[in-house]
Amino acid sequence: MTFEENKMEPSRVKNCRWAYFIFSWVLVICIIIQVFLAGMALFDNPVAWGWHRTFVHMFQYISILLFILGILGKLSWKMIWGSLGLFALFNIQYYTAHGIAGALHPVLALVLFCWALALVRGSYQLLINRDRSK
């Protein structure tokens, strides 16, 4: 992106890109907390299973917010659809919480973490490249 293109970029787009970056970090942190709650329930306090089940409802929709911010921020289709893919994966997690598919639950948690981290990295690269063109 050239300096002239960057100057002409609407502030709405810039703000949406910054919000995407911040909320993608929030999502990564929430996933870490969610895994911590599962570990705490498994190894220390079974009451934490309730916290684990409840906490996901507080942050799973961040991926939908990222989808909307990605569109408004004119991000790449890979990042836009990647955020919607995260939402789909969150929903798949509900089906793997019990029964024989339970072994996939922690594996998919790792996938969620890596996927969310990839969105952080992609949005960071976009912000850095934009700032370097100034």
Taking only the tens place, the pLDDT of each residue in 83-124 is 999 999 999 999 998 888 889 999 999 999 999 999 999 999
Q: Which residues contact 82 (CB under 8 A, 6 or more apart)?
A: 115, 118, 119, 122
Length of the chain: 134
% of the chain with per-residue pLDDT over 90? 78
Output the average pLDDT for the chain.
90
How far is Cα 58 from Cα 30, in angstroms, rounded to an integer? 9
Question: pLDDT tens digits, residue range 68-87?
Answer: 999 999 999 999 999 999 99
pLDDT of 7 strictly over 90:
no
Task: Give 20: exposed, middle or buried? Use CB within 10 Å, 0-12, 13-18, 19+.
Answer: buried
Residue for token pair 């890596």: 114
pLDDT at 8: 58
Task: Give 62: exposed, middle or buried? Use CB within 10 Å, 0-12, 13-18, 19+.
Answer: buried
The confidence band for 127, taking pLDDT boundaries of 50, 70 and 90, is: confident
Cβ atoms of 41 and 48 closer than 8 Å? yes
The confidence band for 3, taking pLDDT boundaries of 50, 70 and 90, is: very low
